[in-house]
Structure 1
């Protein structure tokens, strides 16, 4: 009531969860505190942010091992302390609090300058097995090919997620070894090249560009382009374009 008398809006926040697992299950160490605060919020008609619930969902979604970098590391014990957050953990928990705060205090929304897309309500439940998320390493994908579109020379292609069902875009890495190139061709869909390393000569609509690591090359539908490796170092390129 004191806060309200001074024109403030009280908001209760339940305790943040600890990184404490037992036999593979995350322990709810604040259950009684949470219940007491929920009862108080109901009795006094005060807004409540259930950070205990949100942070437990967040930790479960990360997994016991994945959550450790978000907590302070204790060198003497060779483990995370489970209570105090690293900078990354503090930022993540702050995002959880803010996401809930804008629900109970809508006036905050116009002041936001960054996204708060840190919802964990449904995280970790998985989806359609036929459209499963994946982690792959390029070592399992390497394909030796000549330069596409008549470019010639030796290249190594890495077709990431080529068999993923329903994926609307293509992501590919191509290494143009010495003398290799991607031949001149018309573009039938928007495409992006990103130069990871090496040097190349890029021709876009008849204009030549010297490109190197850090260059991003956007070719729009209707343009034509070609890329040639230059120098002694392999030219490594990431390519992205719509699948259809």
Structure 2
């Protein structure tokens, strides 16, 4: 799992670094400088949102990036028996499983997820996810910033 996350971070960092140097004959953009985050620096132990069902470790990675930013990128590890309770969403969200197993729900429809699987959840749905199995469920959550 650490290798997968490290690979994702390396790919993102490499893409950002590659785009930081403008092609010959062009000028630099007005974009803010990239932000590199070590998940250890943003780790917090807390109950999951939307119901405080069990315990989890939250990594609010994009919170380090100053506004204005247009997306949220987070990781959450749900302890055995924990869940992000069902809640309405006002934007599309993606839950990507990096390890463990769980059940995602969207408007009452459930689907099992395991490492390497993602659920694309749509605006206005009522969604949630719960850990199943014998090991914690690690997910990456991405969604646009609410305006």
Class of the TM-score when normalised by the shorter of the 2 chains: 0.7 to 0.9
The reply to whether residue 181 of structure 1 matches residue 83 of structure 2 is yes
Q: How far did residue 234 of structure 1 move?
A: 1.0
2:56 to 145, 155, 159: 155
The answer as to whether partners of 2:22 and 2:28 remain within 8 angstroms in 1 is no
Q: Deviations over 1:32-62 (max 9, x none)?
A: xxxxxxxxxxxxxxxxxxxxxxxxxxxxxx9
1:213 to 99, 115, 121: 115
1:140 is paired with a residue of what secondary structure? helix
User: Residues 37-52 of structure 1: matches in 2 within 5 Å?
Assistant: none
Tell me, in whole angstroms, the C-alpha distance in 2 between the residues paired with 1:236 and 1:124. Answer: 41
Q: How far did residue 134 of structure 1 move?
A: 1.6
- Deviating beyond 3 angstroms after TM superposition, the runs of 4 or more aligned structure 1 residues are 122-128
Correspondence for 1:18: none
By percentage of residues, which structure has more helix?
1
1:179 is paired with a residue of what secondary structure? coil
1:145 to 46, 69, 73: 46
Correspondence for 2:23: 120
Tell me which of the two structures has the higher relative contact order, counting C-alpha pairs closer than 8 angstroms and 6 or more residues apart. Answer: 2
The answer as to whether partners of 1:157 and 1:173 remain within 8 angstroms in 2 is yes
Flag the structure with larger Rg: 1
Correspondence for 2:7: none
Matched positions, count: 127
The answer as to whether partners of 1:200 and 1:230 remain within 8 angstroms in 2 is yes
Q: How far did residue 124 of structure 1 move?
A: 10
Q: How far did residue 202 of structure 1 move?
A: 1.4
The answer as to whether partners of 1:151 and 1:184 remain within 8 angstroms in 2 is no
Q: Which runs of 5+ in 1 are unaligned?
A: 1-61, 67-117
User: Residues 1-244 of structure 1: matches in 2 within 5 Å?
Assistant: 120-121=23-24, 131-163=32-64, 164-244=66-146
Tell me, in whole angstroms, the C-alpha distance in 2 between the residues paired with 1:166 and 1:184. Answer: 28
- TM-score of the pair, normalised by structure 1: 0.47
Q: CA RMSD in A?
A: 2.5
| Cα distance change on mapping 1:124 and 1:144 into 2, 3 Å | farther
The answer as to whether partners of 2:91 and 2:144 remain within 8 angstroms in 1 is yes
